Chains A and B, each alone.
Chain A
Amino acid sequence: MPSFLDMGKYAAFVWPAYGISAVGIVAAALLTLRAYHRAKARLSAIERISK
């Protein structure tokens, strides 16, 4: 392990803090993008039908 990744006796607190932050942020970004693309697809489908 590279020395800058060695959290010594505090590894059990530092890594979960970064891990949970990363999971929360990545999940929020993915959900946000998925909802956006779904909304876009839905609107263009409706507009195609109504034309």
Chain B
Amino acid sequence: MFGYANPKRFMELSGHILPWLAALTAMLFVAGLYLSFAAPPDYQQGDTVRIMFVHVPAAWVAMLAYGFMALASLVGLVNRHPLADVAAKQAAPLGALFTALALITGSLWGRPMWGTYWQWDGRLTSFLLLLFLYFGYIALWNAIENEVRAAKAAAILALVGVVNLPIIEFSVQWWTTLHQGESIIRKGGPSISAVFLWPLFVMAAAYTLLFLTLLMVRMRTEILNRRARAAALGGAA
């Protein structure tokens, strides 16, 4: 299966897919933003409910990106597949961005609804830890010059950090928290009204495709840079 995923093949395939993916992402953002502002204010939360449409998708992609990074790291470690290392490395800065956005928008939602920007509870603290895991992962790549060794060390860190994902997920059940519990994927169906679910789903799709689009471009960049380095070395010899 991984034979198909060599860098040359990836460049061809991603070159074909990217324009469509980017266009679809843009359309989803237009639709998602329209729905976000067309939705009525919530009867309890007022207009702050709109923060949900940028907060929840950012948090979702922040965790998705980590899961993807860890999976790619595992494939890189076990199969020694160079494209997997490239994928993991390039997912990290994007994951860090979405984690930061989720934390900031969450805090802007917390102030009017909970009365505080920050609370050291299970959900918020484990999510802050996610940001530090991304930072550590990126720092490790930058600290080790040898690419193969850097990939290995970073992959191990990514895999150790996976334990944080279920902690984030279940933190709202395990500990007392200001953060609300599951309200979308739960027994008995979502507890959110459809007028808020639609904008949320469309924005979540937009954020997810945005992540994939940017990831693909970043992987292409990394492959081109590696080719350039190899070509420069070949030219010098």
Q: Which residues of A contact B (CB under 8 A)?
A: 4-5, 7-11, 13-14, 16-18, 20-21, 24-25, 28-29, 32-33, 35-36, 39-40, 42-43, 46-47, 49-50
Contact = CB atoms under 8 A, between A and B. Distances in A.
A7 B58 CA distance: 21
A41 to B, nearest CB: 10
Contacts of B55: 17
Given A25-B210, A28-B97, A50-B234, A39 B221 contact: yes
B109 interface: yes
Contacts of A7: 47, 50
Nearest to B235: A50
Interface residues on B, range: 35 or more
A24 B38 CA distance: 23
B120 to A, nearest CB: 21
A10 to B, nearest CB: 5
Interface in B2-54: 37-38, 41, 46-48, 50-51, 54
Main secondary structure of the interface of A (DSSP, over half): helix
Residue among A8, A10, A36 with max Cβ neighbours from chain B (10 Å): A10
B40 to A, nearest CB: 10
Given A28-B97, A46-B228, A10 B112 contact: yes
Given A36-B221, A43-B224, A10 B47 contact: yes
Interface of B: 37-38, 41, 46-48, 50-51, 54-55, 58, 93-94, 97, 100-101, 104-105, 108-109, 111-112, 210, 214, 217-218, 220-221, 224-225, 227-228, 231-232, 234-235
B37 A5 contact: yes
27 contacts: A7-B47, A8-B41, A8-B47, A10-B46, A10-B47, A11-B47, A13-B112, A14-B51, A14-B108, A17-B51, A20-B101, A20-B105, A21-B58, A28-B93, A32-B214, A32-B217, A32-B221, A33-B217, A35-B218, A36-B218, A36-B221, A39-B224, A42-B224, A42-B228, A43-B231, A46-B228, A50-B231
Q: Which 5 pairs show the lowest CB-CB distances between chains A and B?
A: A50-B235, A39-B224, A7-B47, A43-B228, A17-B105
